[in-house]
Amino acid sequence: MILGYCTNVHAGATLAETKASLERHAVRVRELVSPQAPLPLGLWLSARSAHALATEPDGPRRLRDWMAERELSVFSLNGFPYGDFHQERVKELVYQPNWGDARRVEYTLQLADILIDLLSDGTAEGSISTLPLGWRQMFFAQGGGAALGVSAANLERVARHLADLEQRRGVCVHVDLEPEPGCALERASDVTGFFANCLRPGTDGDRLRRHIRVCHDICHSAVMFEDQAEALATYRAAGIRVGKVQVSSAVECDGSERGFRLLRALDEPRWLHQTCVLDGTGEVHFFSDLEAALDSTAHGVWRTHFHVPVSAGALGVLGTTQRQITDCFAAIRPEDGIEHFEVETYAWGALPMEHRGGSLSDSIAAELIWTSKALDSAGLG
């Protein structure tokens, strides 16, 4: 089992900016949580950074050596945000290009080739998380009825490349689809349906399921009011492997006026904050962003896609879905073979000041320490 944190929390659309953020933050995190061993990282590389690294002579190995000097290592890549994830306004742009676009394919193939050389010698497995096909409304508007088929064909192309890569290099790299509210794949049932109906189970099914897996983001699942154990059981029953668990927590509001006052303070302009409201009848109402939800008259329990510190059980009068993390850990079985766990809290800079804690490095370290203890308690450490 490998536990690290995702570096998409750090701004940096260029390779130089990425290295500067690692030098500034990741080194300090390692000193706090892993003073005797390298700190594992889930590295985010924008398409621009990936291209620069791939075209630089021996670029990935040189980056690996640079990181090793600072006692940092890479076990996974975040291949979800293609462009600048910390630009002034991201919103729906984070889902572009989608899996029907050749640019998404080329970016992912480039990341796979890079990851092979970033992994430590002797590593048998590497993961790359990616978007769940695309933002639903744009995805089907752009691709029409063929959107799912084109995306499946593109993923099959990636799987063939990864199988060839494993044969040549002896390392299994898998691309992990990350269900998210508002996307073409929102729930575990959407993923299993896509695998069953679009990924041609009769054609090299074993290879597809070896190299195309799921990234289970606990925050995303919680916002959709999925039961964590049921989601994992759905994948298990369908023979779909979870390649990575993103340890993340969402905001929960009980619908009180005091809760809404703080919730309004989280309505910021950079990222989408999809919101679901569970009403008294058990129906889940979806809103594409927090602003739209706040303008509604929805009543019930609110959950908002705003990645908050996993070590926080509450944000003042607001709750969090921290309990979903421990529920997820408790539901994991040995036969699931899940090895990669990645803390992903990228919205520190958008939190109200009173909830940010100390420095960013100290806060990330606190999350890793909390998660490590939670994994130990679940028998996964």
Helix orientation angle between 136-143 and 147-169, rounded to the nearest 10 degrees: 100
Closest CA relative to residue 318, chosen from 330, 304, 332, 328: 304
Burial class (CB in 10 A: 0-12, 13-18, 19+), 282: exposed
pLDDT value of position 353: 77
Average pLDDT over the chain, rounded to whole? 95
pLDDT category at 47 given cuts 50, 70, 90 is very high
Q: What are the extents of the domains in the chain?
A: 2-246+321-377
Distance, CA of 114 to CA of 116 (rounded, Å): 5
Express each pLDDT in 66-79 by its tens digit. Answer: 999 999 999 999 99
Q: How many CA atoms lie within 13 A of 364 on its CB side?
A: 33
Distance, CA of 208 to CA of 205 (rounded, Å): 5
Topology of domain 2-246+321-377 in CATH is: TIM Barrel (3.20.20)
Decide if 312 contacts 273 (C-beta within 8 A): no
Token pair for residue 333? Answer: 């079985």
Q: Mean of the pLDDT values across residues 189-199?
A: 94
The residue behind tokens 């998409």 is 8
Rg (CA), the chain: 20
pLDDT value of position 171: 97
Closest CA relative to residue 118, chosen from 209, 15, 36, 17: 15
The residue behind tokens 């979903």 is 324
The counts of H helices and E strands in the chain are: 15, 14
pLDDT value of position 142: 86
pLDDT value at 201 more than 70: no
pLDDT value of position 26: 98
pLDDT value at 203 more than 60: no
pLDDT category at 309 given cuts 50, 70, 90 is very high
Q: Mean of the pLDDT values across residues 110-118?
A: 98
Residues β-bridged to residue 234: none
Decide if 43 contacts 50 (C-beta within 8 A): no
Distance, CA of 208 to CA of 161 (rounded, Å): 11
Q: Mean of the pLDDT values across residues 153-164?
A: 96
pLDDT value at 258 more than 60: yes
pLDDT category at 202 given cuts 50, 70, 90 is low
Neighbours of 167 (CB within 10 A): 8
Note the pTM of the prediction, 2 decimals.
0.97
Instruction: Kindly state the DSSP code that residue 171 receives in the 8-state scheme.
Output: -
Q: Mean of the pLDDT values across residues 148-159?
A: 96
pLDDT value of position 206: 81
Q: Mean of the pLDDT values across residues 142-165?
A: 93
pLDDT category at 29 given cuts 50, 70, 90 is very high
The residue behind tokens 């040995």 is 334
pLDDT category at 217 given cuts 50, 70, 90 is very high
pLDDT value at 145 more than 90: no
